[in-house]
Amino acid sequence: MTVPRRDTPVFNHMSPVILVLAIIMVGVFLLGTLSFPFLQASYQIGALVPGHVSADPGRVEVWWPWLLHVFLHAGWMHLILNTMALLAFGSAAARAFGDSVKGQAGFLLFFFVCAVAGAAAQFMSGPDSFTPMVGASTALSGCIAAAGWANGGYRGMLRLALPWLALNIVLAFVGSQIWVSIAWAGHIGGLVAGALLYPLFLAVFGVRTSQGR
């Protein structure tokens, strides 16, 4: 399937679902800065800790973070970078879905499928780790590949996805040498899911045009 090229500016049109996601991300972070009990509770509910899943996979609460980690961020810089990525790559990926309820739901489903794929990759990279993973970059990695599809088809996807893939492969080897914990496996999992699944989601949920048929 060839995704039609759309040469419109990234911020020319922003889907409502992107604004909602951004508002929730910022709102959760602000509440965490204002209330330490809220911060503790949100991390307990939403931070992905692979060791907890391995220790007791039968507990329902250990699976919620596979979705909810996208709303938590480990500092202002983390939040700002992910919000900017959402507004840029997320907007580009979401635009092709249109503003209908079906289209918005389709993008949201795609976003969280990428998040779950990233969480799964992070879990598989260290199932006994008790380092929490937070942040929307699992899903946003999928949006990077999707933005490439939306604006340049297969070649556009490769132009955006391959540099991000290469950077995270480097991080996989040097991660132990830096003091910041970066979820390189989660990034790669989300990226691969986005690269493979975006055309399928767009075929089902996207806007039908004569150019794209």
pLDDT tens digits for 141-152?
Answer: 999 999 999 999
> Hey, what domains does the chain have and what are their CATH numbers?
16-204 (1.20.1540.10)
Answer yes or no: is pLDDT of 8 > 70: no
The DSSP secondary structure of 6-72, one letter per residue, reads: --S-TTSS--HHHHHHHHHHHHHHHHHHH-HHHHHHHHHHH-B-HHHHHH-TT-GGGTTHHHHGGG-
Among the ranges given (82-86, 123-127, 133-137, 178-182), the one the predictor scored with the smallest mean pLDDT = 178-182
Rg from Cα positions in the chain = 17
Q: 56 φ, ψ to 5°?
A: -150, 75
Of residues 26 and 57, the one with the higher pLDDT is 26
pLDDT of residue 210: 36
Residues 89 and 144: beta-carbon distance below 8 Å: yes
pTM of the prediction?
Answer: 0.90
Instruction: Kindly state the tokens that stand for 38.
Output: 């809220």
- Split at pLDDT 50, 70, 90, the class of 179 is low
Q: Whose structure tokens read 């490769």? A: 158
C-alpha distances (whole Å) from 140 to each of 23, 38, 113, 144, 208 are 16, 25, 11, 6, 24
pLDDT, tens digit, 9 for 90 and up, residues 62-71: 999 999 999 9
- Split at pLDDT 50, 70, 90, the class of 174 is confident
Of residues 8 and 69, the one with the higher pLDDT is 69
